[in-house]
């Protein structure tokens, strides 16, 4: 489909600078632009690309002031990145949607499958499962006994959802993710061995959640591991048993949250953050990449480092750490001078 600058500006509420009839039919990064493509410029460090890009239309922020001629038609909006994302959503919504149930899928006779669903080859849906309307279940996915999956949810190839877990509406779970595997619960025995503690709870994933490829969310020992509405989890994340993740919290790849910890709402966890068990992370908390969390964190704070510190303390500590070689030489020199002075007094 082709869209003119005039149509795009009307949809975004933007202002056109250039030819209102310029048309585009695809998207491209600004540095890889080509005729007929739509790009965006939000980060100032990429500004130099806009003067040479071959893209036909570029979305920019209202405050962008070019330093030289821009050949592309520009559409000025309040938030270039957000507007570009909005257009991508519109484009994705118009892509053909898969429908139909493969004759190679294995669906239990008492499973309840809604309308307009797609179920791919070798997908398995066990007894008592309930699948909502417009759900897409890709090949080789597994839906355990008693699982519920809400309307408009997408489970990509190889997703495994263990028994009795609950998946909300408009959820996206990417390939290889495992929902509801046993939590890591073992009791030490007198002989040094470990006895497995049965994990009889489940996982509850609320609406509008997205879970990345090969992420694992463990079922609760008792009760539920809960991923609240709007949470976004990247690839390769581990969520332990009985963890609760608050609404609209986002986590980058390789985050690990140990059992029974609670993460608040609107938090941002950088890649490889590790959170120990039985902790409480407040609302609106930001934690920098590779940080190790071993204590509770209050609302609205920023932490970084291992062990993690409030960001201002971390920067002060890091400044000292960077100077340790020089400080070590200074201390050695002072010790030598003290020894010489002490020797003279003796």
Active-site annotation, residues = 241
Taking the C-alpha atoms of residue 56 and residue 34, their distance in angstroms, rounded to an integer, is: 7
Cα 292 to the center of its chain, rounded Å: 19
Radius of gyration over every alpha carbon of the chain, rounded to an integer in angstroms:
27
Q: At 23, give phi and psi (nearest 5°).
A: -120, 155
Element (H, E) at 198: none
Looking at residue 232, what DSSP letter applies? E
CB 230 within 8 A of CB 247: yes
Residue 50's SS3 state is helix
Neighbours of 183 (CB within 10 A): 24
Show the tokens assigned to 60: 């920019």
Q: Is 339 exposed, middle or buried (0-12, 13-18, 19+ CB in 10 A)?
A: exposed
Taking the C-alpha atoms of residue 220 and residue 136, their distance in angstroms, rounded to an integer, is: 26
Show the tokens assigned to 13: 């509420």
């Amino acid at each position: 489909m082709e869209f003119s600058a005039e149509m795009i500006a009307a949809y975004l509420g933007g202002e056109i600078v250039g030819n209102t009839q310029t048309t585009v039919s695809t998207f491209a990064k600004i540095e890889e632009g080509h005729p007929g493509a739509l790009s965006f410029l939000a980060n100032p460090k990429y500004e130099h690309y806009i003067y040479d890009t071959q893209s036909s239309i570029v979305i920019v922020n209202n405050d962008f002031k070019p330093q030289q001629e821009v050949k592309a038609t520009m559409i000025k909006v309040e938030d270039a990145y957000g507007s570009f994302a909005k257009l991508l959503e519109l484009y994705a919504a118009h892509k053909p949607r898969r429908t139909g149930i493969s004759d190679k899928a294995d669906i239990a006779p008492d499973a309840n499958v809604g309308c307009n669903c797609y179920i791919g080859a070798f997908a398995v849906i066990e007894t008592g499962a309930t699948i909502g309307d417009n759900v897409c279940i890709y090949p080789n996915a597994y839906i355990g006994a008693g699982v519920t999956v809400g309307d408009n949810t997408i489970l990509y190839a190889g997703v495994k959802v263990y028994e009795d877990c609950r998946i909300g509406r408009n959820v996206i779970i990417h390939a290889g993710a495992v929902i509801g595997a046993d939590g890591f619960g073992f009791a030490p025995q007198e002989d040094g061995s470990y006895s497995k503690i049965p994990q009889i709870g489940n996982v509850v994933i609320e609406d509008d959640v997205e879970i990345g490829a090969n992420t694992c969310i463990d079922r609760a020992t008792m009760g539920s591991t809960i991923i609240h509405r709007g949470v976004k989890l990247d690839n390769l994340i581990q969520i332990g048993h009985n963890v609760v993740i608050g609404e609209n919290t986002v986590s980058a790849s390789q985050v690990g949250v140990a059992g029974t910890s609670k993460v608040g709402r609107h938090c941002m966890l950088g890649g490889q953050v590790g959170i120990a068990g039985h902790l409480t992370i407040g609302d609106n908390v930001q934690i920098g990449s590779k940080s190790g969390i071993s204590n509770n964190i209050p609302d609205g704070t920023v932490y970084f480092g291992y062990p993690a510190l409030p960001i201002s303390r971390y920067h002060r500590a890091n400044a000292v750490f960077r100077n340790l070689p020089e400080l070590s030489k200074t201390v050695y020199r002072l010790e030598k001078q003290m020894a010489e002075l002490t020797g003279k007094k003796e």
